[in-house]
């Protein structure tokens, strides 16, 4: 295990166990975060995929919203996590944390029949990445200083803004650790 | 672009983990479910308790109801088809439901064969009572399993039996020698390749959820502690006195399933749960769990 480094995975609902398994593979200590005070122990946080409406409700119910708003260490949001980190979810059911100046559009690819796997191009590596998109959102109108790190045709699928990373797909559902490694580097800084 | 592969199907099941899937019969109920924090809704014509009470043939719900529910909620919409009724499944796929439940709650259309689920792009969930049944369904292409329990009974005893049986069967496989696995596969009546895989990994190759008889937050917590990764609640919500409050309480209980203090708080404001049935009072031929094999 890498010493003195703990990455939290918001574990209210969704694919949190897959992220924890990924971190274990990278020798990074992790905790499942379900209570506000657990955030204090985290050097970084993964906001997993799942249902954004459900997660939103649980965040309100547990008084964890304010603590998440104040959390200023690195965060990696995947799919539903990316929607919640954006500045607009395009849906009044899902209030966002407004951390990244970019717009998210829920389920913009369509229903489950439109879910897919496709190779995407990464800006920080020459090999493509096999990305799994499950009822994924789309991102648009990136603000100044939002770095696009991954694209699929014309769509933005992976971005970085300061110490925050958002992906509209699910790297935790593959065996490829490169995107998690990229995030861990930000946590170590 | 690769759509409809097994990986993509299981991907959606992964996203539903730690959540509650609720049975609904109208768009209004679907809205209540979504507002309470359901991860998905199951659209059906009558909830299992009413199917049980009214008898007759229970079929796939009407496309108009499914469409109306899809229009009102943003969470995944699932729907049930009869065991072996692949034409109903084709129609549900055409309606773009997000998951199909090939369900024993509806009257079976085929007493011998289940649907060959590999032919579909939409993922399927199926019920099971033990590991052999689970692996047969996975062999046919199911991307998610659930216990059968006894739907519409409000009684958790069968779901507990089925969950414990699946877990016990898995543990047994993990201690066998390689040269004992073929005999185990024969005994389970399950595909050998999947038996080998389970023996090696110690878990099902797809997510394993609980269903059939969950009526309270404590029931949800019990099933999660027994190894379920998500719970289905059928009659338990809309047959209770306080659907919206109860739905929200069960959602919270599924996240905080191992925090008894929290569970006590969650359960404080609830009114009467659904009445429920003693399993022994249900004649054998009326038990849903006995349908399918």
Closest Cα of chain B to A189: distance in Å?
30
Q: Cα(B125)–Cα(B13) distance, rounded to whole angstroms?
A: 9
Residue-level pLDDT at A149: 97
Q: Cα(B173)–Cα(A106) distance, rounded to whole angstroms?
A: 42
pLDDT tens digit sequence for A144-163:
999 999 999 999 999 999 99
- Neighboring chain B residues of A50 at a CB cutoff of 8 Å: 15-19, 39
pLDDT tens digit sequence for A103-124:
999 999 999 999 999 999 999 9
CB contact under 8 A, A112 and B14: no
- pLDDT tens, per residue, chain A with 189 residues: 777 899 999 999 999 999 999 999 999 999 999 999 999 999 999 999 999 999 999 999 878 999 999 999 999 999 999 999 999 998 989 999 999 999 999 999 999 999 999 999 999 999 999 999 999 999 999 999 999 999 999 999 999 999 999 999 999 999 999 999 999 999 998
Q: Are A180 and A9 in contact (CB under 8 A)?
A: no
Q: Cα(B30)–Cα(B38) distance, rounded to whole angstroms?
A: 9
- Helix axis angle, B27-36 to B243-255, nearest 10°: 40
Task: For residue B142, report the phi and psi dihedrals to the nearest 5 degrees.
Answer: -65, 140
CB contact under 8 A, B15 and A50: yes
Q: Cα(B40)–Cα(B76) distance, rounded to whole angstroms?
A: 5
- Neighboring chain B residues of A79 at a CB cutoff of 8 Å: 15
| Residue ranges in chain A assigned as alpha helix (H) | 16-25, 52-61, 65-70, 80-85, 178-188
State how far Cα B58 lies from the chain centre.
17
Q: Are B202 and B251 in contact (CB under 8 A)?
A: no
CB contact under 8 A, B255 and A115: no
Residue in A15, A18, A57 closest to B37 by CB: A57
Predicted TM-score of the model (pTM): 0.96
Tokens representing B104 are 């024993």
Chain A contact for B249, CB < 8 A?
no
CB contact under 8 A, A54 and B37: yes
Q: Are A60 and A54 in contact (CB under 8 A)?
A: no
Dihedral sign, Cα of residue A17, residue B231, residue A49, residue B205: positive
Residue-level pLDDT at B254: 97
- Helix axis angle, B192-201 to B157-174, nearest 10°: 90
Tokens representing A67 are 């603590």
């Amino acid at each position: 295990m890498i010493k003195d480094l703990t990455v939290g995975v918001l574990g209210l609902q969704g694919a949190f166990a897959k992220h924890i398994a990924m971190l274990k593979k990278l020798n990074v200590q992790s905790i499942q975060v379900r209570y506000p005070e657990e955030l204090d122990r985290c050097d970084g946080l993964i906001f997993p995929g799942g249902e954004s409406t459900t997660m939103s409700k649980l965040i309100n119910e547990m008084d964890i919203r304010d603590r998440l708003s104040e959390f200023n260490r690195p965060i990696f949001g995947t799919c539903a996590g990316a929607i919640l980190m954006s500045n607009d979810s395009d849906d009044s059911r899902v209030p966002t944390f407004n951390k990244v100046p970019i717009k998210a559009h829920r389920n913009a690819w369509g229903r489950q029949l439109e879910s897919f796997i496709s190779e995407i191009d990464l800006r920080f590596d020459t090999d493509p990445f096999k990305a799994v998109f499950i009822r994924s959102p789309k991102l648009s109108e990136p603000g100044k200083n939002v770095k696009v790190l991954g694209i699929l045709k014309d769509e933005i699928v992976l971005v970085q803004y300061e110490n925050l990373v958002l992906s509209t797909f699910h790297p935790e559902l593959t065996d490829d650790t490169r995107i998690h490694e990229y995030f861990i580097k930000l946590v170590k800084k | 672009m690769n759509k409809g592969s097994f990986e993509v199907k299981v991907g959606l099941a992964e996203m539903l983990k730690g959540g509650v899937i609720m049975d609904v019969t109208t768009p209004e109920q679907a809205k209540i479910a979504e507002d309470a924090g359901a991860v998905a809704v199951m659209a059906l014509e009558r909830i299992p308790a009413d199917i049980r009470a009214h008898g007759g043939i229970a079929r796939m719900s009407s496309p108009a109801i499914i469409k109306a529910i899809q229009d009102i909620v943003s969470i995944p919409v699932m729907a049930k088809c009869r065991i072996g009724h692949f034409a109903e499944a084709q129609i549900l796929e055409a309606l773009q439901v997000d998951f199909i439940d090939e369900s024993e709650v509806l009257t079976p259309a085929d007493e011998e064969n289940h649907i060959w689920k590999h032919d579909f792009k939409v993922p399927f969930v199926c019920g099971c009572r033990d590991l052999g049944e689970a692996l047969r369904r996975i062999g046919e292409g199911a991307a998610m399993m659930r216990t059968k329990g006894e739907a519409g009974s409000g009684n958790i005893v069968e779901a507990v039996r089925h969950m414990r049986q699946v877990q016990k069967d898995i543990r047994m496989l993990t201690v066998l020698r390689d040269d004992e696995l073929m005999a185990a596969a024969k005994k389970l009546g399950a595909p050998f390749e999947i038996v080998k895989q389970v023996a090696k990994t110690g878990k099902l190759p797809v997510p394993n959820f609980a269903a059939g008889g969950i009526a309270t937050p404590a029931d949800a917590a019990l099933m999660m502690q027994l190894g379920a990764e998500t719970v289905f609640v059928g009659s338990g919500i809309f047959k209770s006195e306080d659907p919206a409050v109860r739905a929200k309480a069960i959602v919270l209980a599924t996240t905080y399933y191992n925090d008894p203090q929290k569970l006590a708080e969650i359960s404080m404001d609830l009114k009467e749960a659904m009445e429920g049935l003693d399993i022994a009072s249900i004649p054998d031929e009326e038990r849903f769990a006995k349908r399918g094999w």
